[in-house]
Amino acid sequence: MRIAMIGTGYVGLVSGVCFSDFGHDVVCVDKDAAKIARLQAGEVPIYEPGLEDLMARNVAAGRLSFTDDLAAAVAEAEAVFIAVGTPTRRGDGHADLTYVMAASEEIAAALQGYTVVVTKSTVPLGTNRQVKQVIAKSNPAADFDVASNPEFLREGAAIDDFMRPDRVVVGVQNDRAAEVMAEIYRPLYLRDFPILTTDLESAEMIKYAANAFLATKITFMNEIAGLCERVGSDVKEVARGIGLDGRIGNKFLHAGPGYGGSCFPKDTAALARIGQDHAYPMQITETVMRVNQEVKARMLEKLRDACDGSFNGKTIAVLGVTFKPNTDDMREAPSLTIVPALIGGGAKVRVVDPQGEAEGRDLLPGVKWEDDPYKAARNADLVVLLTEWNEFRALDLKALARKMAQPRMVDLRNIYTAKAAKRAGFETYIGVGR
Ligand SMILES: NC(=O)c1ccc[n+]([C@@H]2O[C@H](COP(=O)([O-])OP(=O)(O)OC[C@H]3O[C@@H](n4cnc5c(N)ncnc54)[C@H](O)[C@@H]3O)[C@@H](O)[C@H]2O)c1
């Protein structure tokens, strides 16, 4: 298949590279000319494990290329994927469809021969029909169908998720488009990964329902963690105890500083908005959003407690600022609320993150970037473990404590235990829900 991938961000780039690895001919398009120039030079603009090698292999095989010439890429393609951003629209929580609609107009003008226009971006109910109308209106002669193909990959494990998905969801309006989509995903079908073919509206809803459900699961556990702290239970034991129940499952039960990232905050907001627009408030999702804010606020209280009630004059080392490990993505990361609050309270903040500096430099003004946790902890009053990078999972706690002016730790990912921290010389150890 000849595929054009419009949008070369976290989703578009991974999808384009993986489709080329399936054996398809893929042209990745972005309107950001600087990004395309880097890609053409063999440089991957994001941090995603394994992506650089896979990209180089498929470029070398002649199946993968990059351009900012959308029209040329679309004219050649049998399937055009839209993988542009759908951030939260300012003011009302709705998904901003400006980029999707602009891309649709551009695609319309360039279509040649029968083409399936596939939305991979996460979009509200009815958007695929809207894309169809926009294309049909601006190019009445175009021979095309639309398809919805929401993406479920996780940053940090994106290639494995794409190559070995729990499922692929495809929404279509007719067999002709279904056949093109089946051909694109044939390598997965042959390996027995489930491919769910459904209608457009169900495919659109599956994506929002999945993300809202996962955000609910995490938030539920974060709320249980708060209660654990008051009654003396250990949320890690509780998570294990309930996770062994097959109906609950053991994933997404780790208590932490509240969900963030490029998807859950905006997708829960968009689902809540869709509910309001249809006079059917999504009460659970709205509550989850509110509780998540409270969870974040509770984390700051923990930090303040560890600093005897005030950040003023304290030196604080923050380990990890990306929204999760194995990505450089900072969108809605907990660090973006926590670090400014520390600085605003009068603390000096040192930050260590294996990949976060390039993205984080402008987002976290006033911090000192360090490349080593022990250096960051020198004469510090508090260490905060914020993102569970592997680099922070096996710290020499004794060496860390010895460097500090006051050996205190707040571990917002529950990597260590109070017992181990105390044994290593920490006078204070505060986790989440224990
Ligand atoms: N990031 C994730 O983990 C993830 C997972 C599943 C689904 N999604 C969804 O996928 C979509 C894309 O997310 P992302 O994180 O990859 O976004 P991103 O912001 O990283 O990338 C979007 C890219 O699209 C480009 N673009 C915008 N308009 C364009 C146009 N008209 N022509 C060419 N290029 C254009 C931008 O320059 C940018 O490079 C969103 O709807 C998101 O909700 C994201």
Please write the tens of the pLDDT for every residue from 294-317: 999 999 999 999 999 999 999 999
Residue 178 confidence (pLDDT): 98
Give the span between the Cα atoms of 106 and 26, in whole angstroms. Answer: 18
Cβ–Cβ < 8 Å for 255, 224: yes
Cβ–Cβ < 8 Å for 322, 329: yes
Give the span between the Cα atoms of 60 and 68, in whole angstroms. Answer: 20
Cα-to-centroid distance, 281 and ligand 1 (Å) = 28
Given 28, 228, 263, 307, the catalytic residue = 263
45 Cβ inside 6 Å of ligand 1: no
Which atom of ligand 1 is nearest to 7's Cα?
24
Angstrom CA distances, 360 to 234, 372, 376, 390, stand at: 33, 16, 17, 19
| Residue 263 is a catalytic residue | yes
Sort residue 228 into left (φ over 0), alpha (ψ -120 to 50) or beta: alpha
| Residue stretches of the chain with pLDDT short of 50 | none
Residue 283 confidence (pLDDT): 98
161 Cβ inside 6 Å of ligand 1: no
Residue 245 confidence (pLDDT): 98
Predicted TM-score (pTM) of this structure? 0.97
Helix (H/G/I), strand (E/B), else coil: 148 = strand
Counting every residue written for the chain, the total comes to: 434
Residue 90 confidence (pLDDT): 87
86 Cβ inside 6 Å of ligand 1: yes
Residue 209 confidence (pLDDT): 98
Q: Which residue, 57, 294, 95, 318, is CA-closest to 211?
A: 95
Which atom of ligand 1 is nearest to 84's Cα?
24
Give the span between the Cα atoms of 112 and 158, in whole angstroms. Answer: 32
Which atom of ligand 1 is nearest to 99's Cα?
28
99 Cβ inside 6 Å of ligand 1: yes
Residue 91 confidence (pLDDT): 86
Looking only at the bridges linking them, the beta strands covering 348-352 and 368-370 are parallel
